[in-house]
Amino acid sequence: MPLGATWREGDVCSFLAWAPRVKHLEVHLLGAQDRTIAMQPGADGYFCAIVDDVKAGTLYQYRLDGQKVRPDPASKFQPQGVHGPSEVVDPRFAWTDVAWKGLPMHRLVLYELHVGAFTPQGTFDAVIERIPQLKEVGITAIELMPVAQFPGKRNWGYDGVYMYAVQNSYGPPESLKRLVDACHRQGMAVFLDVVYNHFGPEGNYSADFAPYVTDYYKTPWGDALNFDRAQSDQVRRFFIDNALYWITEFHIDGLRLDAIHAIVDPSARPFLEELGSTCHERGKGLGRQVLVVAESSLNNPIVVQKRSLGGWGFDGQWDDDFHHSLHVLLTGEQNGYLGDFHGLGDLDKAYREGFVYTGQYSQFRRRRHGKSSKEIPAEKFVVFTQNHDQIGNRPLSDRLSQILNCEQLKLAAGVVLLSPYVPLLFMGEEYAEPAPFPYFVDHGDSALSDAVRKGRVKEFESYHYDAEFLDPSTEETFLRSKLNWDLQSEGQHRLIREFYQRLLQLRCNVPALAHLDKESMEVKSYNDSGVLLVTRWHDQSRVCVIHHFGDTAIPFEAPLPPATWREILNSSDSYWSADRGRNASAEDNGRAVSQHADPVRVGEAGHRLTLQPFSFAVFQKEN
């Protein structure tokens, strides 16, 4: 029997709850019927009831030992928020994606978005209207920040307390299904960010039912989830069933697991390995690709290594080292963990291997960190110039568009989108959205809001910023994070969007760029000139990308192998200049992209060219 309330045609509803800390459990149906049904105790602390004449949409609560009244820990919907009653949900939906089989990792261009800030309406249905625009740019998958029910109406989503319920301010469950179905019709996959390392602090009543958490371990956000102590089998079931619920009931294509380094589980078969294996098995049973990607600061290849080799078998993981290397090169910032990264050599290693820290001493951690990722396939790393953390965890929550110029933004995009890894964009990045993305919450407990505010201030004490700190608890802070969609058709914003579109076209259509493989790639860095040269090939296709991180123009002798080469993109071309972005008319938008028509015959001496500040050039070998 599935956890929570499961409604079936004929108005029959089953209720299943895990409550070993309770002697007597009742389900109280609210509304016109207003009746209470005793639930039958079973093995391992489960209570169940099968009840007739329950209409979809009925509100209900659990009564614990005749005293406490609580929402269902496995609630499918909380229409009145985290403290209100749960709702019986009709699971039926007219899906149109029967032919959809999902996408493999190497075809992903991920786009991370926050449902509440993505549109003025802040709903699942409003996201649907923007999907064609994302597809036009070249996005192949959206990745939703957590949507599990959290307190209030605005939150990043990492304070969720009802893991099976979609956030009520985003819309009811069927609206998320409409979004997924619409994406699949457009040929786009949908990933969902899930939090399996802690519960949020407000509205979490799970401890009244069972030992979901343990104080044996701690996370930065409180007690850890109980994946290895007494009664942990049932906790594992709760979260693994949750993952399967999103995959099966909502047709989600992939899960992004938040901060798995905060999950402590020394079991012989760790929870994470079991989770990944079970999700993959469910995908096979459904006849479609289901992917599991992790956020991990461990720099440990075990996350993505095959289970047959002792790994956990995840399909991918976020590569923070790649981001940090690139960010330091472009900004010079070295606060906090960025202090471990120092220059072009780090980006060189990130390009070649994935991880930069592979066992050497980390000054930030004050210990050795990481393990070699040389043998990990390129398609298992997700790379980015920005994401919610790398923006929101800055004192001013400012994006790269606010701290870099147009040439640097284009260079950053080229480094990521022409890499052999899976790229991820953060919402609005594709048109240089200027709005900040600060951390925001909407707690009903003022003391909790004060604690969050003080915690953020303390976190940034060492940054010595004089600018105004954005209070996480105010609605104004949240509203400032909203995207301004009108910008992408204006001036420089339109130019950047067109540039991203061109890069993603090259990534898709040039075989050497579409083939994600570290073995068919050579990387060489020139520290004196600030140049990173990347050569990639696949079958007869060969491409050379020359990235220049210097702030002055320099002559450069590119060691292109003897052949005929054509420059297919140069970020310093006048077509991509900031001046054109400022002065171009609306009619200019969509004009054929310029490229150098004349091929270049390169001999033994290589090809001499001038590299402009913060630019890159892409050369393709002609057959």
> Could you give the 3-state DSSP secondary structure of residue 178?
helix
Q: Which residues contact 209 (CB under 8 A, 6 or more apart)?
A: 17, 18, 19, 20, 21, 22, 62, 64, 70, 73
Task: Give yes or no for a contact between 435 and 481, defined as CB atoms under 8 angstroms apart.
Answer: yes
Catalytic residue among 202, 295, 407, 567: 295
Q: How far apart are CA 591 and CA 613, in angstroms?
A: 26
Other CB atoms within 10 Å distance of the CB of residue 457? 13
> Could you give the 3-state DSSP secondary structure of residue 511?
helix
Q: How far apart are CA 510 and CA 488, in angstroms?
A: 26
Catalytic, 461? Answer: no
CA 454 from centre of chain: 27
| Length, in residues, of the chain | 623
Task: Give yes or no for a contact between 256 and 141, defined as CB atoms under 8 angstroms apart.
Answer: no
Task: Give yes or no for a contact between 351 and 532, defined as CB atoms under 8 angstroms apart.
Answer: yes
| DSSP label at residue 365 | T
Task: Give yes or no for a contact between 343 and 329, defined as CB atoms under 8 angstroms apart.
Answer: yes
Q: How far apart are CA 358 and CA 347, in angstroms?
A: 14
Q: How far apart are CA 208 and CA 227, in angstroms?
A: 18
List, in sequence order, every residue forming a beta bridge with 142; answer none if it has no partner. 111, 190
Catalytic, 143? Answer: no
> Could you give the 3-state DSSP secondary structure of residue 564?
strand
In what order do the strands lie in the sheet containing 40-41?
4-8, 12-18, 46-51, 40-41
Place of tokens 């496995």: 74
Q: How far apart are CA 85 and CA 205, in angstroms?
A: 12
Catalytic residue among 174, 258, 319, 346: 258
Q: How far apart are CA 247 and CA 191, in angstroms?
A: 10
Other CB atoms within 10 Å distance of the CB of residue 548? 27
Task: Give yes or no for a contact between 302 and 384, defined as CB atoms under 8 angstroms apart.
Answer: no
∠ Cα 546 547 548 (to 5°): 120
Q: How far apart are CA 487 and CA 503, in angstroms?
A: 20
Which residues form the catalytic set?
258, 295
